[in-house]
């Protein structure tokens, strides 16, 4: 049935009378807050304060539970108990994989006294996953959900839109970027918000290389607490430097952002709790099994001599170009399974080698290499999935392009850090 123009306007009038309220507009505190958080002059200081609060809460929450309770539980009770009751003992291959591989001191195999050094599935594996990563993940997602539900994230996207346009992206890119600080897997999925293939390729590649996940950040806070800020600054700088280069090299357009900014809301406890559990459930079902599998994988490679062979092969590059010991090979292999596990292994290696053979600056460089190195297998799988949906038969070209960027970044940005240490006279 066709309606005349007058009939259409009659229907519009009826709908508007039922839905539109007329009255005097009152400028509320919520309106004022909404305005000042999107204006650069006031919004940028507020954004810095919010992100600083985010980081402070993340470190304090994770440190309180990890150092205050879980380190004492795992190192003081769980590890000694397993070393006493688990069959086999030091030197047994199954015991080495599951509990404690031990380390050599003056030609004698000695048991580990902490879970970072033990490298066992039931010790290092569980400690990394539950003792370090879980508190960090809870802290990260709790704060992120509050920012989401309050309506601040869209305003942050508007605020930094100009900055991201310099590298061919737009303000929407802040969503996968912040998600990536929790986990790269949902962050790769969130790149669907970007309009063009060029933007999605750039964002997936840059996220996989430069943005450490919350699990990795949790370990970094325990391994190099005083240098985490420097590492993050170096990685973010690389994100924008190589983003600018990719934008110049890759053909395509970067359209403007059109965004509906919602009003501010007070987050509800029920909503926050549901979202938090939904994201933690994924951690328990996906991340923890990958951590344990990664420990098994690396320990088996140790036992059959593959790690030592790879260390000797790559020693000239690791020592000469990156300035790190050849023992870094094992964490780089583990990084393909879980990067948080790899950073945890670096701490154990430093404790075994000593500060003379593996100093703080080499440890910081190794942490950066683990971050830049090939993304974990779960992220790779998600990139392939998104690439197939986006590119179809061109997914091979897509992956080869990402791999080429990865190799260039690792050698250039990783080697540059070694050069910085040399210039500063500490390497």
* Measured distance CA(94)–CA(100) in Å, rounded: 9
The position carrying tokens 């980081």 is 55
Q: Is residue 288 part of a domain?
A: no
Rounded to whole angstroms, how far apart are CA atoms 125 and 74? Answer: 11
CA torsion 317-323-328-334 (nearest 10°) is -80
Structural domain contains residue 111: yes
Instruction: Find out whether 298 and 330 touch, Cβ atoms under 8 Å.
Output: yes
pLDDT tens track of the chain, all 427 residues? 677 778 888 888 888 878 777 766 676 777 777 788 888 888 888 888 888 888 788 778 877 888 788 888 998 899 999 988 888 878 788 888 898 877 666 667 788 888 877 888 898 888 878 887 788 788 888 888 888 888 888 888 788 877 888 888 877 788 788 878 877 777 887 787 787 888 888 888 888 889 888 778 878 888 888 888 899 999 999 999 999 998 888 887 776 666 667 778 888 889 999 988 888 887 787 777 877 887 888 788 878 888 888 888 888 888 888 988 888 888 887 777 678 778 877 877 777 777 666 788 888 998 998 888 877 766 777 777 776 766 655 667 777 777 888 888 888 998 899 888 888 877 6
DSSP codes joined into one string, 360-412: HHHHHHHHHHHHHSS--HHHHHHHHHHHHHHHGGGHHHHHHHHHHHHHHHHHH
Q: Is residue 285 part of a domain?
A: no
In a domain, 299, yes or no: yes
pLDDT value of position 106:
65
Task: State the total domains in the chain.
Answer: 1
Query: What is the predicted pLDDT for the residue at 393?
Result: 57
Q: Which of 99, 120, 100, 79 is nearest to 294 (CA)?
A: 120
Q: Classify residue 17: in a domain, yes or no.
A: no
* Closest to 97 measured CA to CA, from 79, 72, 73, 123: 123
Is residue 71, in this structure, part of any structural domain at all? yes
272 occurs within a structural domain? no
Which residues form the domain of 78? 31-260+293-424
Domain membership flag for residue 249: yes
96: Cβ contacts below 8 Å, ≥ 6 apart = 90, 102, 120, 299, 303
What's the pLDDT at 298?
A: 79
The verdict on pTM exceeding 0.85 is no
pLDDT of residue 238: 92
Per-residue pLDDT, 234: 93
CB 336 within 8 A of CB 376: yes
Q: Are strands 108-110 and 103-105 parallel, antiparallel or unpaired?
A: antiparallel
Q: Which helix (H) or strand (E) holds 346?
A: helix 339-353
pLDDT at res. 394 = 63
């Amino acid at each position: 049935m066709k309606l005349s123009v007058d009939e259409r306007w009659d229907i519009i009038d009826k709908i508007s009378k039922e839905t539109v309220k007329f009255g005097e507009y009152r400028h509320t505190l919520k309106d004022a807050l909404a305005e000042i958080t999107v204006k650069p002059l006031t919004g940028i200081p507020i954004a810095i304060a919010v992100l600083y609060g985010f980081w402070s809460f993340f470190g304090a929450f994770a440190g309180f539970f990890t150092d205050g309770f879980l380190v004492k539980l795992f190192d003081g009770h769980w590890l000694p108990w397993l070393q006493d009751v688990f069959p086999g003992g030091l030197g047994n291959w199954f015991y080495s994989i599951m509990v404690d591989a031990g380390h050599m001191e003056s030609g004698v195999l000695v048991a580990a006294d902490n879970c970072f050094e033990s490298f066992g599935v039931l010790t290092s594996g569980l400690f990394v996953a539950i003792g370090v990563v879980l508190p960090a993940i809870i802290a990260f997602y709790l704060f992120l959900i509050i920012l989401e539900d309050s309506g601040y994230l869209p305003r942050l996207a508007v605020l930094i839109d100009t900055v991201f346009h310099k590298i061919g992206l737009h303000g929407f890119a802040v969503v996968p970027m912040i998600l990536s600080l929790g986990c790269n897997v949902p962050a790769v999925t969130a790149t669907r918000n970007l309009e063009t293939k060029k933007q999605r390729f750039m964002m997936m590649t840059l996220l996989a290389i430069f943005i450490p996940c919350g699990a990795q950040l949790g370990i970094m806070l325990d391994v190099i607490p005083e240098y985490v800020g420097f590492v993050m600054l170096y990685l973010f700088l690389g994100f924008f430097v190589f983003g600018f280069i990719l934008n110049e090299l890759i053909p395509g357009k970067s359209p403007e952002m059109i965004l509906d900014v919602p009003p501010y809301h007070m987050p509800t406890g029920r909503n926050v709790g549901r979202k938090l559990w939904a994201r933690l459930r994924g951690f328990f079902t996906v991340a923890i099994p990958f951590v344990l599998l990664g420990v098994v994988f690396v320990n088996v490679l140790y036992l059959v001599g593959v790690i030592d062979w790879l260390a000797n092969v790559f020693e000239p590059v690791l020592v000469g170009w990156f300035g790190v010991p050849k023992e870094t090979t094992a964490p780089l292999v583990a990084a393909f399974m879980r990067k948080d596990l790899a950073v945890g292994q670096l701490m154990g290696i430093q404790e075994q080698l000593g500060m003379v053979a593996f100093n703080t600056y080499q440890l910081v460089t190794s942490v950066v290499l683990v971050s830049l190195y090939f993304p974990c297998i779960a992220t790779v799988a998600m990139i392939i999935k998104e690439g197939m949906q986006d590119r179809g038969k061109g997914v091979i070209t897509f992956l080869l392009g990402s791999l080429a960027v990865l190799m260039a970044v690792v050698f250039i940005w990783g080697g540059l850090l070694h050069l910085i240490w040399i210039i500063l006279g500490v390497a």
